Amino acid sequence: MATPEAKATELKNQGNKAFAAHDWPAAVDFYTKAIELNDKEPTFWSNRAQAYIKTEAYGFAIRDATKAIELNPSFVKAYYRRATAYAAILKPKDAVKDFKTCVKIDPGNKDAKLKLVECEKIVRQLAFFAAIEVGDEPSAAEGLDVDSIAVEPAYDGVRLEGGMTQEFIDDMTERFKNGKTIHKKYVYQIILAVRKLVYDEPTMVEVEIPEDVELTVCGDTHGQYFDLMELFRLNGTPSEKHWYLFNGDFVDRGSWSTEIALLLYANKWLRPNCFFINRGNHETDDMNRVYGFEGECKAKYSERVFKLFSESFSALPLATLIGKKYFVLHGGLFSDDNVTLDDIRKLNRHKQRQPGQSGLMMEMLWTDPQTEPGRGPSKRGVGMQFGPDVTKRFCERNGLEAVIRSHEVRMDGYEEEHDGKCITVFSAPKYCDMTENRGAYINIGPDYKLKFCQFDAVPHPNIRPMAYAQNSVMSSLM
């Protein structure tokens, strides 16, 4: 009869196979079962840490790597993985310490040396940003005379004269498919127009679906432009009769984030009352600096374009209430049971451009559901987690049927949790070219019934995710 240790090793091997097949949740499950049989083997903890990194559960990855280090203080891989997880949650000082330990234990580890240099560079950059930060920094639009910018006769795209047109959107869509950009004048016009539109919207937009209209709720798209094109091909493009709500995280990671942002903004400008955008945790400066969007803006357009996008992101609404039945926000619920929809209505998001480390805005962008009752520490290392009882009380208190959120990969593209009262939708299939998940979206008609639709990734040009990230530490997460 096999010993518990032998059974645990077999489960670890099955976890390795699932990991190689890019089925990260299955890998986590196998490593967990192995740990339950033998919790003294550091490799099991370190392997699960790596699987957690792939699911962006960086807080859990740090915990597991720490356990592996306790069991084997010379375990280089565990230090390396903990450092990677620290870097991912924007704690580069902690990452520096662990990369230094890697190099000390294994002086020939070239990769750890490179990552150490990169993390030290990030620490210096963050110190620089903190030093120059001022409360009332002038808008990037100051001194920008868009009207005086000439569009050269050689420009081969549709011209934008005055407001947005469907013809311009159709032409822009094709230009982006073919690897082209649009003229910088039009980029400025789109961002400035939408910044004003969304600034004037309430923090929680409230939507009723008319009799002859369908509303589609999309989750994270993360710069996966060609998969968004597939979603539109299958489901139909935005129109007066087909409304869309994009629930945050449309930029970063994928390498067509400017294309998605400009396309969503152009649709918002053309149909402001039929097209809706919630802010996600990646529509924030600190994430954009390390996960690619800032670098992409600079590479394709200019630093000023990034700064204007940043201003527009901080103006985006944080939630949408659909038919008084569905509360749609990017992250999830709150650390305080007393929070109501009225508190969201009253929240002045314009006072605080970035979400910070605590408060309602941070929780709306960062929290996640858990299966256990109550609340628990975040698997991400940022925010917290909330259980089915928390969701039930929130829905009952606010007269809701369900909370719809995004923020997390789901292998089927969506998941109904907490007795159907917490629904996750994620619209980036084969996320970052390395997770074998499907994408999904939710169609809601005037009867307010939810129809879940799944779709698969499509081929895209050979540009890797995080191609515009500023350092190799972040690229190594891919």
For residue range 148-195, list pLDDT tens digits in order. 999 999 999 999 988 999 999 999 999 999 999 999 999 999 999 999
Q: Where are the beta strands (DSSP E) in 181-318?
A: 204-207, 214-218, 242-247, 275-278
Closest CA to 48 of 81, 71, 22: 81
For residue 130, pLDDT beyond 80: no
The residues spanned by each domain of the chain are 4-132, 146-475
Contact (CB, 8 A) for 340 and 196: no
Average pLDDT of the residues of the chain: 95
**pLDDT number for residue 133:** 63
Quick one: which of 94, 39, 87 has its CA closest to 64? 39
Tokens 């169609």 locate to 443
Residue written as token pair 């698969």: 456
Question: Token digits for 88?
Answer: 């991912």
Query: Nearest CA to 271 among 300, 242, 250?
Result: 242
φ, ψ (nearest 5 deg) of residue 286: -65, -40
Q: How many helical (H) and strand (E) elements, i.e. helices and strands, does the chain have?
A: 18, 14
pLDDT-wise least confident of 73-82, 134-143, 215-224, 400-409: 134-143
CA 329 to chain CA centroid, nearest Å: 12
How far, in Å, CA of 125 to CA of 429, rounded?
33
pLDDT band for 77, please (50, 70, 90 cuts). very high
Q: What is the pLDDT of residue 129?
A: 72
- So what's the pLDDT on residue 29? 97
Rounded average pLDDT over 326-355: 95
Neighbours of 142 (CB within 10 A): 7
146-475 belongs to CATH 3.60.21.10: yes
Residue 77: other Cβ atoms inside 10 A: 19
pLDDT over 70 (residue 97): yes
| Per-residue model confidence (pLDDT) at position 2 | 84
Beta carbons of 176 and 259 less than 8 angstroms apart: yes
pLDDT above 80 for 471 = no
pLDDT for res 353: 85
Per-residue confidence (pLDDT) for residue 136, from 0 to 100: 66
Residue type, 203: T
Q: Please tell me whether residue 416 adopts helix, strand or coil conformation.
A: strand
422 CB-contact burial (10 Å; exposed 0-12 / middle 13-18 / buried 19+): buried
Q: pLDDT over 90 for what percent of the chain?
A: 89
The alpha carbon of 471 is separated from its chain's Cα centroid by a whole number of angstroms, namely 19
Q: Which residue has the tokens 């407001």?
A: 163
For residue 389, give both structure tokens.
């009882």
The residues that bridge with 216 in the sheet, in sequence order, are 244, 443
Roughly how many angstroms between the first and final C-alpha of the chain, as a whole number? 40
Over 70: is that where the pLDDT of 433 sits? yes
Kindly tell me if the per-residue pLDDT of 196 is higher than 70. Answer: yes
Q: Taking 90 as the threshold, does the pLDDT of residue 236 lie above it?
A: yes
Copy the structure tokens of residue 373.
């009752």
Residue 242: active-site member: no
Residue 162 pLDDT: 86
- Rounded CA separation 152/148 (Å): 12
- The C-alpha atoms of residue 448 and residue 97 are separated, in whole angstroms, by 52
> Which tokens is 183 given?
């003229």
Q: Considering Cα of 292, then 287, then 301, then 429, what sign does the dihedral take? A: positive
- Cβ neighbors of 304 (< 8 A, separation 6 or more) are 140, 144
Residue 161 CA to residue 56 CA, distance in Å, equals 43
pLDDT (0 to 100) of residue 1: 75
Q: What is the pLDDT of residue 475?
A: 61
pLDDT at position 466 over 60:
yes
User: What 3-state DSSP class applies to 271?
Assistant: coil
The more confident residue out of 168 and 477 is 168
User: Between 81 and 1, where is the model more confident?
Assistant: 81
Is it true that domain 4-132 has CATH number 1.25.40.10? yes
Residues 6 or more apart whose CB falls under 8 angstroms from that of 241 comprise 212, 213, 214
Residue 26 scores a pLDDT above 60: yes
Q: 18-32, 113-127, 310-324, 392-406 — which is least confidently predicted?
A: 113-127
Nearest to 335 by CA among 357, 305, 317, 313: 357
Integer Cα distance of 39 and 47 in angstroms:
13
* Confidence category of residue 99, pLDDT binned at 50, 70, 90: very high
Could you give the CA distance from residue 299 to residue 305 in angstroms, rounded to a whole number? 11
Residue 135 pLDDT > 70, yes or no?
no
Percentage of the chain lying above the pLDDT 70 cut: 97
**How far is 24 from 411, CA to CA, in rounded Å?**
9
Is the predicted pLDDT of residue 445 greater than 60, yes or no? yes
Of 290 and 310, the one with more pLDDT: 310
Residue 145 identity (one-letter amino acid): D
Q: Roughly what angle, to the nearest 10 degrees, separates helices 42-54 and 24-37?
A: 160
**272 band by pLDDT with thresholds 50, 70 and 90:** very high
Range 289-316 average pLDDT: 96
What is the predicted pLDDT for the residue at 228?
98
Check pLDDT > 60 for residue 134: no
Beta strands 402-405 and 422-425 are: parallel
Active-site entry in 222, 242, 282, 460 = 282
The one-letter code for the residue type at 429 is P
Query: What average pLDDT does the segment 333-341 reach?
Result: 97
For residue 478, is pLDDT > 60? Answer: no
